[in-house]
């Protein structure tokens, strides 16, 4: 077993792309794949509003991310690197990344994939010039010798290899925040601690969205004794001035626009919820049924989480 794989397992690093899968286990799966060539991917899709950590890392710690990629290339013999960047990040970072990787077997890709490219099978399809649609799992990309980690995960991999990992992660704070931005703090920090230590704890009546800016769950100010889920985003809302209908419409419009239309439950379910919010006729029974179908039968994670924020807002804040 490679020393770095053992280190990844020992440190219990989990992927920072949202799913939280153990990084060491993924690397072990790729090692066990026994393929002729390993494909190593840095996924810089970061397509959810309210999540800016990967941008922050590329802007401030790009060399560290590339160091992580070098470790991957050294670990997996006969390997090739791919850096996938969404269009805005490609325009901003591609030239510097080319300079840093000019002596490495690395390609830098700009493809129009959107939010769905955060899902690993989708980014593989897009890199291969196919439609931005998820594919059936298993097999997972790792089973085929394709190692995909997002930007922040590669940053921590480099830190672990250098003995500098302190079990931190990056949090994006936005919304009605006094001091918005991206902050590196303890990976087990609670939302309350994060807000207080970054000088962002509101003095007004508020609620937060935890995990992502569209799919994250809604938490009241009395429920902040837990860490942010998913991608580590915290969006602050002023309870007194937030228009519930406009907010929920923003959420569902995002998933309507990013939908790949591959599966009926997601395509039709998101459309029906969007229609309900547009007319401001919220039928709780119909909505609950739609949520159940989305969560249980959608092909990929987009459909499973599309109604998360609306559901938790309705339960916690109400209309």
Over residues 107-134, the mean pLDDT reads: 87
Confidence of residue 19 (pLDDT cuts 50, 70, 90): confident
Are the C-beta atoms of residues 122 and 132 closer than 8 Å to each other? yes
> For position 1, what pLDDT does the model report?
42
pLDDT tens string 193-226? 999 999 999 999 999 999 988 999 999 999 999 9
Are the C-beta atoms of residues 127 and 84 closer than 8 Å to each other? yes
pLDDT tens string 27-72? 999 999 989 999 999 999 998 999 999 999 999 999 999 999 999 9
CA distance 209 to 202: 14
> For position 308, what pLDDT does the model report?
93
Mean pLDDT of the chain: 93
Name which residue leads in pLDDT, 95 or 132: 95
Tokens of 264: 């009926």
CA distance 162 to 166: 11
Whole-structure pTM value: 0.94
Domains of the chain: 3-161 (3.40.50.11540), 168-238 (3.10.20.600), 244-316 (no CATH)
Closest CA to 131 of 146, 109, 150, 112: 112
pLDDT tens string 67-113? 999 999 999 989 999 999 999 999 999 999 999 999 999 999 876 76
Tokens of 59: 């802007």
């Amino acid at each position: 077993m490679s020393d770095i794989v053992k280190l990844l397992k020992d440190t219990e690093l989990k992927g920072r792309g949202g799913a939280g899968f153990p990084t060491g286990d993924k690397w072990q799966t790729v090692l066990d794949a026994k393929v002729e060539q390993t494909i190593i991917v840095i996924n810089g899709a970061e397509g959810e509003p309210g999540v800016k950590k990967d941008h922050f890392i590329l802007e401030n710690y790009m060399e560290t991310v590339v160091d992580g990629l070098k470790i991957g290339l050294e670990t997996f013999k006969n390997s090739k690197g791919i850096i996938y960047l969404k269009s805005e990040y490609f325009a901003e970072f591609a030239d510097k990344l080319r300079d840093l990787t000019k002596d490495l077997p690395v390609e830098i890709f700009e493809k129009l994939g959107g939010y769905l490219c955060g899902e690993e099978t989708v980014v593989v399809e897009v890199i291969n010039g196919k439609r931005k649609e998820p594919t059936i799992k298993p097999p997972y990309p790792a089973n085929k010798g394709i190692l995909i980690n997002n930007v922040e995960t590669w940053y921590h991999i480099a830190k672990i290899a250098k003995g500098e990992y302190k079990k931190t992660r990056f949090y994006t704070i936005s919304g009605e925040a006094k001091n918005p931005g991206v902050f590196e703090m303890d990976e087990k920090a609670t939302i309350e601690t994060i807000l207080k230590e970054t000088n962002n704890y509101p003095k007004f009546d508020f609620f937060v969205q935890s995990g992502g800016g569209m799919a994250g769950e809604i938490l009241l100010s009395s429920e902040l004794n837990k860490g942010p889920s998913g991608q580590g985003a915290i969006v602050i809302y002023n309870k007194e001035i937030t228009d519930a209908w406009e907010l929920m419409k923003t959420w569902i419009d995002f998933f309507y626009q990013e939908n790949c239309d591959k599966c009926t439950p997601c395509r039709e379910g998101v459309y029906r919820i969007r229609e309900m919010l547009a007319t401001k006729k919220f039928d709780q029974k119909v909505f609950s049924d739609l949520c159940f179908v989305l969560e249980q039968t959608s092909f990929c994670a987009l459909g499973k989480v599309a109604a998360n924020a609306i559901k938790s807002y309705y339960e916690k804040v109400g209309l």
